[in-house]
Each structure stands twice: as C-alpha cells, then as structure tokens.
Amino acid sequence: MASWIEVGPTSECPVGELKGVTADGSEIVLANFEGTIYAIADECSHEEFPLSDGELEGDEILCIYHGARFDCKTGKNLCIPATRPVKSFPVEVRAGQIYVDVS
C-alpha cells in the first residue's frame, strides 16, 4: 500500500535543480529534470554524503565529494566510485505540491 508524504511545493524545486527533503524519516533528494520531479535516496552509495549537495547535470546527479553519478530517474549508479544504486521513490504532483511514496 502506498504511503504518500507531502514534501513541499513544486516552486521549491525549479527545473534543473536539486532539493533535499525528509519524508517520514527518509532523507530524499528531489531532482527536477525538464519539468518532471524525481526522487532518490539522499545518500551517495560510495560514502554517506548527501547527494542534495551535488549538481543536476542533464538527468544525472553528480556527487560533488568524489564524482559519483546517479540516474535521477532510477537511482542507478553510473560511474565509480559508486558501485551500487540508491533507492528511487515514486513521485506525484497534486495541486502544486510534491508527494513521495516512501513505502
């Protein structure tokens, strides 16, 4: 069963930007790629640094600490030093508010 948590308005995550949020105890980074908002775990799988400190380059999230990259849509690791993906979460936008399913 879905567990949708409101994490804020779409205005706080403009196109091409990242935003770190907490949803029911889970640290999540939102990524607005071309007007669609995606959500993955806000912790690099290489070391425990927040991906929300990084940059969104196209549809890739760059961890600024060691250069790991992740697909913002799926959480798939794209290059070393990250050797594992991070969890992705379903996202819905309702009346200008962002909801993430943390179940």
pLDDT digits (tens, 9 = 90+) for 49-69: 999 999 999 999 999 999 999
- The model's pTM is 0.96
Report the candidate in 103, 99, 19, 86 with the shortest Cα–Cα distance to residue 56.
19
User: Can you name the residues that pair with 101 across neighbouring β-strands?
Assistant: 4
> How far, in Å, CA of 3 to CA of 103, rounded?
5
What domains appear along the chain, each with residue ranges and CATH number?
A: 4-101 (2.102.10.10)
Residue 25 Cα to chain centre, angstroms: 15
Cα 83–Cα 40–Cα 9 angle in degrees, nearest 5:
160
Torsion of CA 51, 52, 55, 56, to 10 degrees: 90
Structure confidence at residue 93 as a pLDDT band (50, 70, 90): very high
User: Can you name the residues that pair with 60 across neighbouring β-strands?
Assistant: 57, 71
pLDDT digits (tens, 9 = 90+) for 28-39: 999 999 999 999
- What values do phi and psi take at 51, rounded to 5? -70, -25
